[in-house]
Structure 1
Amino acid sequence: MKKIALIVIFISFLGCKKDYKPENRLKDDVAFLADDKLEGRKTGSKGEKEAAAYIVKRFEEIGLKGKGTNNFYQTFTFKPKTDPHGEVSFTENSQDSTITGTNVLAYIDNQAENTIIIGAHYDHLGYGGEGSLYKGEKAIHNGADDNASGVAVMLNLAGKLKETNTSNNYLFMAFSGEEMGLLGSNYFAKNPTINSKAVSYMINMDMVGRLNQDSTLAVYGTGTSQVFKDVLAAKNTNFKLVEEESGVGPSDHTSFYLIDIPVLHFFTGQHEDYHKPGDDADKLNYKGMETISAYIYDLITDLDDNGKLAFTKTKNDSQELPRFKVGLGVIPDYLYDGQGMRIDGISKDKAAEKAGLQKGDIVVKLGDSTIIDMMSYMRALSAFEAGDSTKVTIIRAGKELKAGLKF
């Protein structure tokens, strides 16, 4: 009888292993990373180190192994740039003028030929400073959406992939230094801890915590491999997708595109709390984050037996952006795909506010230029200098309105 009982227990144990279900800790992960105690997770700060230790603990709980240069950690030391148009220089020696950031890397080794990289940056702006859009008194910038949301979804995916889709290995990366210029991902791309030639593709999540009511999800890098557009469409049952082919953009996927790795970057859009102290955990759409995680998992599952994806070079839109000397003082709605440029936020005491423009207004003409999209808006803006006056035409609640503004 004892032997039979042991066999039954053993069979039950195997059944439990087969029915493995990862925990959903999205809300807990964001709550920790976006807590005031971490003081905004600025690169090189005590809060950044506490965040890194928490991510390591979560990787260990899921059952992943470290894949940095020192177990889970990969540190990088750099001198902050003094010229805003210059490049940061990495250094091997830590000095008074240098900062040391920390990437956190974990690995699922399925003994496969190829590896998929899944990443999200975990650093933010600390108490503000350069990069902050807040004009008030010194305050902690918690960065719940930017980018505790992406880290939480990455950890959620790690749990889901622990025992599934075993045709590839998985490298999970929490980058630091993103807010200072994609430093952590750039350092890894130059100092990889795996064979980067065997990376099939890279998935990046940056600001995925505020899925809006019409479920608009931006996906960048769709042209970096020929299979991406088809699989994105085939697996989409929940989102209004806004696709951008270019592999170059203002987040860590760019570092991998530049070493010829196909990339997909997911983003739910900017908002009025972007780079401000108001980006807090209670404002996130956690159901939306679950839906995004499930979608990315379905994409990975569909591509599981595709082998190493072929890389396709895309047109670099950022090289064609016009330079401008003035700003309207608005946050554009980057997820808007209609005619014109829709305003998602208004900055205080800037030209747009003084002209009476409001969130939700759609700019369709600036001066003599018709605005059909973001690029035409920027081209129109580049024609003005400080002190110039002009007319702006907007659509508000279906009606066309005109206003005068001065830059």
Structure 2
Amino acid sequence: MQHLTCLLALSLTLTTQLYAQKKADRKALGNIQTHINFLASDKLEGRRTGTQGERLAAEYIASQMQLAGLTPAGDSGFLQTFPVSEGKLIANTSHLTVNKSTLTAGEQFVPLPFSAQKDAKGDVLPDVNEPDNIWLFNVNDFEMSPHADPLEIYRQNAREAAKAGATGVIFYNGTEKTADVQKWLKVAVDPLTIPVMWVNEATSKMLDDAEDLRIDMKVDFASGRRTGTNVIGKIDNKAASTIVIGAHFDHLGYGEDHNSLAPNDKTIHHGADDNASGTAALLELARQLKASNLQKYNYLFVAFSGEELGLFGSKYFTEHSAIPTTSFNYMINMDMIGRLDPAKGLQVGGIGTSPAWPALLQQAMPADIRANYDSSGTGPSDHTSFYLKNIPVLFFFTGTHSDYHKPSDLAAKINYEGELAVIRVVYTLIEKTNEMDKLVFTKTRDKQTGTGARFSVTLGIMPDYTWQKPGVKVDGVSDNKAASKAGILTNDVIVELGTHVIVNLEDYMQALATFKKGDKTTVKVRREDTEKVFDIQF
């Protein structure tokens, strides 16, 4: 009888625990759905950095942190603002009229970054470039090396035209897409003395077909600067070290920054998975950890903005944190964790950044979740900014999908049960480190990102994704790689790789794709006010 009573008591205890767990799961699922539905709603208009939608999202996140009992840890309450430099913007006063057709700035024509802010008018004959008139350059006539930088080719031709007396220059029949030319406006370059424009394919056909042209052009630029906002809350357990949990909450807005993958990008990009999913997990973990007895470490919860523009928010935070980054134990980053697919599994990056991670992940990962691990501490998300400060990191990601950077990334497509499973893994990891000393940091191999180019070599540098001037700024140098062996240093700016002129990160990646292991070449860098050339071997 006593044995039966014990069995009944055990059964009742297990039933009570199971009910409590199911109740807790229902609450967590409800919270996640509420957060994602709000953040991905039309009201927030895609949460583009520096917009009203981003500010509404930041206010919501701050209010949820306050409800969870977190302490404000920003510069102004929960908020931390930071500058985002965007180069030049096309001012509303810029215009181009060809005969009687008024063209649309940013679509049918784009002023080039080295253009003067001037106007020009003229009656122009195709293929006839005369002094004191607007010159037309057919790009099909240029002999361009496949490795040439088209922006530099355009600049050289426009400069020579200005010397020869042209009052303005228009380039047509270029192979670039309008969105790519828009990105050139982020390049800082000295202006010429005349206005210069690039026109799209449809406008190029208009110039090709006309026998004579009446052209009226004007270039004006606006300041390309806006302010982003991070949201920061803290659980202060009066500990010596702090665990950072992060996720970016910004997205693409209406696609104004030309990073949409949709054919028609002028609609709201909802960003439910990217990254309302990670932000919802951040808020739910804040609530759960505040209610827990895990008190060996402090917890800092950071919702970053500016990630879609190049890690602006996280880079600013790591350089302006009120809490010394040397006291950070580790950082967990959650970016796009809302589409868990059993066939693809959960991707976890950064496991090489501390010798403790492999064993901890083995304990925390449930048997029913297929895990794919990567050792690198770098990548195209906010954990990179922490890794470069010698902080162990983990990056949780459920993979890309056909809705990535499109308006169709909707809350209805989130796998909420799957996201809750990812949250449980993260919580279990944090729980297990509560009994451990501060983790040891280790450097890892590079992870190249940001291009479609295929390559088999690495220079061994980490680019500064927030750099807006010509070249690629070195944000970190890996030990025993080509760059470190040659003597390249952090803060150097790479301007040439072999015969390739490097204006931006895409140029750098495309240049790397032309080399293979064992190749020798040179790297030219700007270091403060001087230029240096290094011999390297991949």
* Fold shared per TM-score above 0.5: yes
Partner of 2:342: 213
Match of 1:124 among 245, 251, 258: 251
Structure 2 CA distance for partners of 1:252 and 1:154, relative to 1, 3 Å: same
Partner of 1:201: 330
Q: Which runs of 5+ in 2 are unaligned?
A: 1-20, 89-112, 114-182, 189-221, 456-508, 515-538
Within 1, Cα distance between the matches of 2:87 and 2:310?
Answer: 10
Counterpart amino acid of residue 262 in structure 2? Y
What is the identity percentage for the equivalent residue pairs of Structure 1 and Structure 2?
Answer: 46
Deviations 1:66-125 (A, max 9, x none): 101111010001321469699999xxxxx9431000000000001111100000000000
> Do structure 1's residue 187 and structure 2's residue 316 form an aligned pair?
yes
Counterpart amino acid of residue 217 in structure 1? L
* Native 8 Å contact 1:30 1:152 kept in 2: yes
Match of 2:369 among 229, 239, 249: 239
TM-score, normalisation: structure 1? 0.71
* Native 8 Å contact 2:255 2:265 kept in 1: no
Deviations 1:326-380 (A, max 9, x none): xxxxxxxxxxxxxxxxxxxxxxxxxxxxxxxxxxxxxxxxxxxxxxxxxxxx99x
Structure 2 CA distance for partners of 1:215 and 1:26, relative to 1, 3 Å: farther
* Native 8 Å contact 1:145 1:209 kept in 2: yes
Match of 2:291 among 147, 152, 163: 163
1:26-65 to structure 2, matched below 5 A, reads 26-65=32-71
* Native 8 Å contact 1:21 1:160 kept in 2: no
Match of 1:105 among 216, 228, 232: 232
Q: Which runs of 5+ in 1 are unaligned?
A: 1-18, 90-94, 326-377, 384-407
Deviation of 1:163 after TM superposition, in Å, equals 3.1
Question: What's the secondary structure of 2:224's corresponding residue?
Answer: coil
Deviation of 1:239 after TM superposition, in Å, equals 1.4
Within 1, Cα distance between the matches of 2:349 and 2:278?
Answer: 15
1:242-257 to structure 2, matched below 5 A, reads 242-257=372-387
> Aligned Cα RMSD in Å?
2.9
Structure 2 CA distance for partners of 1:79 and 1:114, relative to 1, 3 Å: same
1:79-118 to structure 2, matched below 5 A, reads 79-81=85-87, 96-118=223-245
Structure 2 CA distance for partners of 1:295 and 1:282, relative to 1, 3 Å: same
Aligned length: 308
Within 1, Cα distance between the matches of 2:363 and 2:186?
Answer: 40
* Native 8 Å contact 2:380 2:449 kept in 1: no
> Do structure 1's residue 77 and structure 2's residue 83 form an aligned pair?
yes
Structure 2 CA distance for partners of 1:321 and 1:39, relative to 1, 3 Å: closer
Deviations 1:138-164 (A, max 9, x none): 210000000000000111111110032
Deviations 1:172-199 (A, max 9, x none): 0000000000000000111112121110
* Native 8 Å contact 1:78 1:88 kept in 2: no
Structure 2 CA distance for partners of 1:46 and 1:189, relative to 1, 3 Å: same
Within 2, Cα distance between the matches of 1:261 and 1:142?
Answer: 32
Counterpart amino acid of residue 135 in structure 1? P
Within 1, Cα distance between the matches of 2:452 and 2:412?
Answer: 37
Partner of 1:67: 73
Partner of 1:262: 392
Within 2, Cα distance between the matches of 1:48 and 1:322?
Answer: 29
Deviations 1:287-309 (A, max 9, x none): 00111101110011111121211
Counterpart amino acid of residue 278 in structure 2? G
Q: Which region of structure 1 is more displaced relative to structure 2, 256-265 or 157-166?
A: 157-166
Partner of 1:292: 422
Within 1, Cα distance between the matches of 2:51 and 2:36?
Answer: 19
Structure 2 CA distance for partners of 1:156 and 1:85, relative to 1, 3 Å: farther
Deviation of 1:243 after TM superposition, in Å, equals 0.5
Q: Which of 1 and 2 has greater Rg? A: 2
TM-score, normalisation: structure 2? 0.54
Instruction: Show structure 1 runs of 4+ deviating over 3 A.
Output: 19-23, 81-89, 319-325
1:120-159 to structure 2, matched below 5 A, reads 120-129=247-256, 130-136=258-264, 138-159=266-287
Deviation of 1:222 after TM superposition, in Å, equals 0.5
Within 1, Cα distance between the matches of 2:399 and 2:184?
Answer: 26
> Do structure 1's residue 283 and structure 2's residue 420 form an aligned pair?
no
Within 1, Cα distance between the matches of 2:390 and 2:184?
Answer: 24
* Native 8 Å contact 2:380 2:450 kept in 1: no
Q: Which region of structure 1 is more displaced relative to structure 2, 21-30 or 110-119?
A: 21-30
Within 2, Cα distance between the matches of 1:320 and 1:151?
Answer: 23
Counterpart amino acid of residue 241 in structure 2? N
Q: Which region of structure 1 is more displaced relative to structure 2, 97-106 or 229-238?
A: 229-238
Within 2, Cα distance between the matches of 1:27 and 1:228?
Answer: 30
* Native 8 Å contact 1:26 1:286 kept in 2: yes
Deviations 1:21-55 (A, max 9, x none): 69420000000000011000000000000000000
Partner of 2:163: none
1:322-361 to structure 2, matched below 5 A, reads 323=453
Within 2, Cα distance between the matches of 1:96 and 1:300?
Answer: 44
* Native 8 Å contact 2:83 2:226 kept in 1: yes
* Native 8 Å contact 1:114 1:307 kept in 2: no
Question: What's the secondary structure of 1:290's corresponding residue?
Answer: helix
Deviation of 1:244 after TM superposition, in Å, equals 0.6
Q: Which region of structure 1 is more displaced relative to structure 2, 57-66 or 230-239?
A: 230-239
Within 1, Cα distance between the matches of 2:358 and 2:74?
Answer: 32
* Native 8 Å contact 2:265 2:406 kept in 1: no
Question: What's the secondary structure of 2:351's corresponding residue?
Answer: coil
